[in-house]
Amino acid sequence: MDYEIVIGLEVHAQLLTETKIFCGCRNKFTHEPNTNVCPVCLGQPGVLPVLNKKAFELGMKGALALNCEIPPRTKFDRKHYYYPDLPKNYQISQYDLPMSERGYLDINVDGVEKRIGITRAHLEEDAGKLMHSTDSSVVDLNRTGTPLLEIVSEPDMRSGAEAKAYLELLKLTLEYVGVSDCNMEEGSLRCDANISVRPFGQKELGTKNEIKNMNSFKGVEIALQLVAEKLFDATKKGEKIEQVTWGYSIEKQKIFKMRVKEEANDYRYFPEPDLPPVEVSREWVEQVRATLPELPRAKHTRFMDEYSLSDYDASVLMQDKPLAAYFEDVAKASGNPKDSANWVINDVAREMKERNISGISAFPVKPETLAELLALVKGNTINMPTARALFARLVQGETASPKDIVEKECLAQVSDSGALKEALEKIVAANPKQAAEIESGKHQTAMWFVGQIMKEMKGKADPQSVTQVIAERFGIDPGLLQKKK
């Protein structure tokens, strides 16, 4: 019998607000531990949470970018569990009326499009952070109350590669709309997975295993693959599948068993009595929707349509929103999108990598400057080796414009007929045999003269002007020589 793996992902994204979701504390947990705290986020008795409107709007913006529907009414609930990083012993989350539901993302794996459903995206508060050493554990509650958007997918993924593609597009989408910085290493984007195995064609899901807190794309793909292998093995041997929660170690690239569940958790959800339900007007939704920027896949399609870029070039640029904007500036200033994409994807990206420049905003060559360089090549003023040498100088901090440098240092291809004629006379005088050949009507010899002049002018001669000068000197119709080229 053949089996398939079924994967669903739960992603938590920290929202980029100034303050926490239910109090006025700063939303910064990199500060001195336990300094951004107050009675509300410490869960002291008698305090009242107040919903941060900005957090709600950022959550809505993220949900809309994920194609979710926003219901007209939503509420908050208490999710009860006891843990040392959770001072209230409950977390304010959303249970049966989430702020958004029924969204999707269209992923592309090896050229195959697939729609991954998003069950819901709801708001909740983050817990604190525990730090363990050999003889003690300490807690930092700065993170307590950080607004989170929890995004729950449908179990629509069938491989680690699909899960990775979904997570990458999800991250890119949230970054595009600017609701989260999605830094996986710092934990602002965290991913849990549900995974099960079932015979092909069966509708019911197999017993679920979970993988907790994966914080890299590669980790997600590897951990899912490892758990899938264990589930396949057990299923094929006819063993009973335990409900295991796995952890994943990036360093060792290994999964480890965290716990085996006997039954489903009962969090005793009930409506948060201190927060009124939120009525969401259609106007509000449309106002937030109007602030959405162009999303990654839309940009990809537009780049192919508007600039005739290849699928590959458009994909590379889509991955980096600021780089895509840089490309568009170069393309518009130069009127030459194809060469702009080539230069940005190859030369600019290479220089950024070599010089450890993390973002295009710190790149020393401005789009207009690169456009000017491209125009010099396109207009046959300079040739490619000269252009690359100039680009290297610009990256190293050269401040003069490419045009000025070319003029000042005489880097332009020489099309001045005086200089070319002079070079030609020199060559004719030194090579009477070839001169006699061309004079006797052997027009092919003209190509030999073109080569000699190029050499004489150190590669800077403009080929068209050279042909012109030769044609005039030997009384040949220039059209005949052009055709010979």
Q: Which is nearer to Zn ion, 36 or 467 (CB)?
A: 36
Among 23, 169, 461, 476, binds Zn ion (CB under 5 A): 23
Asked if 94 contacts 74 with a C-beta cutoff of 8 angstroms, the reply is yes
**Which parts of 223-318 are beta strand (E)?**
243-249, 254-261, 270-271, 278-279
Between 13 and 41, CB nearer to Zn ion: 41
Its sign, for the CA torsion 403, 405, 411, 416, is: positive
Size of the site for Zn ion (CB under 5 A): 5
**Residue number, 40 or 280, with CB nearest to Zn ion:** 40
189 contacts Zn ion (rule: CB under 5 A): no
CA distances from 439 to 234, 428, 478, 484 (A): 88, 11, 14, 16
Listed ranges 18-26, 250-258, 267-275, 417-425: which one lies at the site for Zn ion (CB under 5 A): 18-26
Which is it for the CA torsion 435, 441, 444, 447, positive or negative?
Answer: positive
Is residue 38 a contact residue for Zn ion (CB under 5 A)? yes
Q: CB 122 → Zn ion: shortest distance, Å? A: 21
Q: Which run of H or of E encompasses 482? A: helix 478-484
CB of 274 to Zn ion, least distance (A): 14
Residue 63, token pair as written in the block: 């949900």
Identify which range of 32-40, 125-133, 159-167, 472-480 contacts Zn ion by CB under 5 A: 32-40
Minimum CB separation of residue 22 from Zn ion in Å reads: 8
Least CB distance from residue 346 to Zn ion, whole Å?
49
Contact 17, 54 (CB under 8 A): yes
CA 74 to chain centroid, in Å, comes to 32
User: Which phi and psi (to 5°) does residue 146 adopt?
Assistant: -65, 130
Tokens at 105, concatenated: 């993302």
Determine, following the binding rule CB under 5 A, whether residue 127 of this chain makes contact with Zn ion: no
Contact status, residue 41 vs residue 26, Cβ threshold 8 Å: no
Strands 112-125 and 137-140: unpaired
H helix runs in 40-86, sequence order? 53-65
Closest distance of CB 48 from Zn ion, Å: 12
Nearer to Zn ion, 17 or 209 (CB): 17
Among 6, 7, 11, 25, binds Zn ion (CB under 5 A): 25
Q: Which stretch binds Zn ion (CB under 5 A): 17-25, 186-194, 266-274, 454-462?
A: 17-25
Question: Of the ranges 33-41, 70-78, 83-91, 98-106, which one interacts with Zn ion (CB under 5 A)?
Answer: 33-41
Among 7, 9, 21, 41, binds Zn ion (CB under 5 A): 41
Residue 149 binding Zn ion, by CB under 5 A: no
Q: How wide is the angle at C-alpha 446 spanned by C-alphas 442 and 448, nearest 5°?
A: 115
Minimum CB separation from Zn ion for residue 95, in Å?
Answer: 23
Closest approach, Cβ 117 to Zn ion, in A, equals 36
Binding positions for Zn ion, rule: CB under 5 A: 23, 25, 38, 40-41
